[in-house]
Amino acid sequence: MRPLLPLLLLSSAAIAQAAPAEALKPMAFLAGHCWKGEFPDGKQTDEHCFQWALDGHALRDVHTVRTPGKPDYVGETLYYYDSAAKIVAYLYVENGGGFSHGTMKPSANGLEFPEAKYINGAMVLPYRGQWTITTDSYEAFSEMYVKD
């Protein structure tokens, strides 16, 4: 695996909140806020806006990557408790037709996203991520397989 995107996101605007389901409580600090940061090259921004959905049984994340001179890349993730597997799972769908589904586990420093697959047509891209929580922000680090 190779690093793709270390990214620092800072809290901004508040959005209405609901009480979360027990399994989603490790993600509660995200809800009701938009978090925005720059890619390491400084040429793109990445914004995530989180809000509780379905009476706290799900957490919705609207994700927008902005690049000057290009259309926005937009995706939505719905995090929920999978009671059969007894883990927090997610479904991600984006405006280019791609999607992924995976899981989230709380870790000592934040949130861990074990390996999952992004699929768009014939392209299948394995990836994983780690979000490290700080006092007033979080750092997102993603890795993906590229050419073996």
**What CATH number was assigned to the domain covering residues 2-144?**
2.40.128
Q: How far apart are CA 63 and CA 72, in angstroms?
A: 10
pLDDT tens digits, one per residue of 54-74: 999 999 999 999 999 999 999
39 touches 5 (CB < 8 A): yes
Share of the chain above pLDDT 70, in %: 87
**Four-CA torsion 97, 141, 126, 67, nearest 10 degrees:** 30
Give 96-147 pLDDT, tens digit per residue.
999 999 999 999 999 999 999 999 999 999 999 999 998 888 888 889 988 7
pLDDT at 82 over 60: yes
- Mean pLDDT for the stretch of residues 19-39: 90
DSSP 8-state secondary structure symbol assigned to residue 44: -
Is residue 18 predicted with pLDDT exceeding 90? no
Map out the domains of the chain as residue ranges: 2-144
The SS3 assignment for 133 reads strand
4: pLDDT confidence band, cut at 50, 70 and 90? very low
Closest CA to 8 of 29, 37, 33, 51: 37
pLDDT of residue 148: 66
